[in-house]
Chain A
Amino acid sequence: MGLFVQQIVNGLALGSIYALIALGYTMVYGIIRLINFAHGDIYMIGAFVGYFALTTFNLPFGVSLVLAMLIPAILGMLIERVAYRPLRKSPSIAVLITAIGVSLLIENLAILWFSPDPRPFPQIFPNMPLDFFGIKISIPQIIVFLTSVALMIALNFLVQKTKIGKAMRAVSQDKEAASLMGIDTDRIISLTFAIGSALAGAAGVMVGVIYPRIQPLMGVMPGLKAFVSAVLGGIGSIPGAMLGGLIMGLTESLVTALISSTWRDAIAFGLLIVILLVKPSGILGKSTREKV
């Protein structure tokens, strides 16, 4: 029982990181129906920005976190402008391949610049486990969980309560109608990439805080799993991405503890397939019926 609860705690910390990455996938998919394969690499860039800010420039954690959100945000907007926008009217598979190309480009540039070897992420917070009735929760885990929740609340406020958020929701419903209502859809799409990338950048720093090893290909698997989380929760749905991320994190840490870590990836994808077959629109997604 103690082990079980312990794994839930670990799973929540991991899950909140998946949720942060999944948000970017779900927002981009919701607005331009693109599986942005480069998103996992943006998360990696966030981790490296945080790393250099903390080590080379010796900046405080808060400033580093802001930088690690800002630079990926700019990168995300740049990618959208240069690689995706010219293909807005092309078949979706062409955009998908472009996204894969962008992903490979970022990974290989990172290997070139940062070397393929893993680097230790600086330990800012004492890795001291606090004991809550026999359940050990480390300070980094608490920091990660609280920061993620704060960011998600901020995002929810932005999307639900602000004018920009309203415009974003309008564009994802119907791009043409939104532009007829005077919304600059290109700007909103750009902004969506910026916000999604900023969250991924933050997730990069968060992962450095709990698992202090970063390397240029660190974004591939978490990127895939975060995307799976987004589908699990219902792609296009922001609460869905948060829920999907948490479920993914919990499942993984439970499977790792109870079965074996080598089966972890199979279970994650197995879960995805079961959800897709039972309810393809995901847990919180709305199902649509094709009109005949």
Chain B
Amino acid sequence: MTENQNILEANSLTMSFGGLTAVANLSFCLRKGELVGLIGPNGAGKTTVFNMLTGVYAPTEGSILLNQGDKKQAISGLPPYKITQKGIARTFQNIRLFNKLSVLDNVRIAFHFSRSYSMFHSFFLTPLFWREEKKITADATELLALLRLEERKNDLAKNLSYGEMRRLEIARALATHPQILLLDEPAAGMNPQETEELSELINLIREKFSLTILLIEHDMSLVMKLCEKIMVLDYGMMIASGTPEEICHSKRVIEAYLGEEV
């Protein structure tokens, strides 16, 4: 597979809820290894795009194609768990951790399909069960160490700080072995120092797991610094896309953010 190949193609995606069109006729491609930012004012339809890509919503119209090696397959309309298994993982804007479970268990859950054994082994605690459980725990601990959460692995997820919760969301998503990672406002609620650390972390995991990343973020400095390409949504439509440089100077983008007067 060449570096420049499209790993994901979205073709004229439309999502309507009753009479409201949240996303209209949206098309874009993600190249393998790219880090793309998705920005836009509140209510522009960014999270709806994520929800379509991950199968939470089936698009009203349009298709999503996932390109793996030489086979191209449509994933639009598949249930979310199948899409995750095909290699698209996400974090949630309004953090959705398994609150009453330990940090370690949160990550171990995400190894569910990649390292599984049949029910038989769990009912009878066969040697395979112990072996696999040991590996899952080791892998989960390694991921937690990478995201600087190792110390807190036995705490309940609900007792983490805000920044830790966001990092645990990322750890959990990585545990599903994704090729494409969708990050929904990972820096929301973080202070400048935490944001700085986060951007290093994103670069680190991108390298380490050779990920393609699509990032929704309101912190412009973070987006401008990290992303190679930026897409701008407004009222469910793509109003601009290009390099950070181009986006900064786009008249339409400035209008969308600051109003027509400027």
Say how far B49's CB is from chain A's closest CB, in angstroms: 12
Whole-angstrom CA separation of A289 from B47 in the bound complex:
15
Do B17 and A292 touch across chains, with their CB atoms under 8 A apart?
A: no
Of B17, B92, B94, the residue contacting A289 (CB under 8 A) is B17
Q: Could you say which residues of chain A place their CB within 8 Å of the CB of B17?
A: 289
Say how far A179's CB is from chain B's closest CB, in angstroms: 24
A89: Cβ under 8 A from any B Cβ: no
Say how far B96's CB is from chain A's closest CB, in angstroms: 8
Whole-angstrom CA separation of A11 from B17 in the bound complex:
39
A291: Cβ under 8 A from any B Cβ: yes
Say how far A287's CB is from chain B's closest CB, in angstroms: 10
Q: How many residues of A contact B (CB 8 A)?
A: 3
Say how far A113's CB is from chain B's closest CB, in angstroms: 44
B51: Cβ under 8 A from any A Cβ: yes
CB-CB contacts of B9-51 with A at 8 A, as 1s and 0s?
0000000010000000000000000000000000000010001
Interface residues on B, range: under 10
Whole-angstrom CA separation of A291 from B94 in the bound complex:
9
Which residue of chain A has the shortest Cβ distance to B57 in the bound complex? A292
Say how far B23's CB is from chain A's closest CB, in angstroms: 14
Q: Could you say which residues of chain A place their CB within 8 Å of the CB of B94?
A: 291
B56: Cβ under 8 A from any A Cβ: yes
Which residues of A258-292 have CB atoms within 8 Å of chain B's CB atoms? 289, 291-292
Say how far A163's CB is from chain B's closest CB, in angstroms: 33
Q: Could you say which residues of chain A place their CB within 8 Å of the CB of B56?
A: 292
Whole-angstrom CA separation of A292 from B51 in the bound complex:
8
Whole-angstrom CA separation of A289 from B17 in the bound complex:
10
Which residue of chain B has the shortest Cβ distance to A290 in the bound complex? B56
Q: Could you say which residues of chain A place their CB within 8 Å of the CB of B47?
A: 292
Which residue of chain B has the shortest Cβ distance to A291 in the bound complex? B94
Which residue of chain A has the shortest Cβ distance to B17 in the bound complex? A289
Say how far A286's CB is from chain B's closest CB, in angstroms: 12
Q: Could you say which residues of chain A place their CB within 8 Å of the CB of B92?
A: 292
Which residues of B95-153 have CB atoms within 8 Å of chain A's CB atoms? none
Q: Could you say which residues of chain B place their CB within 8 Å of the CB of A291?
A: 94
Whole-angstrom CA separation of A119 from B181 in the bound complex:
70
Whole-angstrom CA separation of A289 from B18 in the bound complex:
12
Say how far A93's CB is from chain B's closest CB, in angstroms: 14
Say how far A285's CB is from chain B's closest CB, in angstroms: 16
Whole-angstrom CA separation of A175 from B51 in the bound complex:
30
Whole-angstrom CA separation of A292 from B92 in the bound complex:
8
Q: Could you say which residues of chain B place their CB within 8 Å of the CB of A289?
A: 17
Say how far B235's CB is from chain A's closest CB, in angstroms: 19
Whole-angstrom CA separation of A289 from B56 in the bound complex:
12
Whole-angstrom CA separation of A291 from B51 in the bound complex:
10
Whole-angstrom CA separation of A292 from B56 in the bound complex:
8
Whole-angstrom CA separation of A289 from B16 in the bound complex:
13
Say how far A91's CB is from chain B's closest CB, in angstroms: 11
Q: Could you say which residues of chain A place their CB within 8 Å of the CB of B51?
A: 292
Whole-angstrom CA separation of A267 from B94 in the bound complex:
42
Whole-angstrom CA separation of A246 from B92 in the bound complex:
44
Whole-angstrom CA separation of A101 from B96 in the bound complex:
34
Say how far B9's CB is from chain A's closest CB, in angstroms: 23
Whole-angstrom CA separation of A289 from B20 in the bound complex:
14
Say how far B2's CB is from chain A's closest CB, in angstroms: 34
Whole-angstrom CA separation of A219 from B47 in the bound complex:
49
Say how far A166's CB is from chain B's closest CB, in angstroms: 28
Say how far B100's CB is from chain A's closest CB, in angstroms: 11
Which residue of chain B has the shortest Cβ distance to A289 in the bound complex? B17
Say how far A77's CB is from chain B's closest CB, in angstroms: 35
Which residue of chain A has the shortest Cβ distance to B90 in the bound complex? A292
Which residue of chain A has the shortest Cβ distance to B48 in the bound complex? A292
Say how far A19's CB is from chain B's closest CB, in angstroms: 30
Whole-angstrom CA separation of A235 from B238 in the bound complex:
40
Say how far A290's CB is from chain B's closest CB, in angstroms: 10
Chain A interface residues (CB < 8 Å from chain B): 289, 291-292
Chain B interface residues (CB < 8 Å from chain A): 17, 47, 51, 56, 92, 94
The 6 closest A-B pairs by CB, nearest first: A292-B56, A292-B51, A292-B92, A292-B47, A291-B94, A289-B17
Could you list 6 A-B pairs, sorted by A, with CB under 8 Å?
Answer: A289-B17, A291-B94, A292-B47, A292-B51, A292-B56, A292-B92
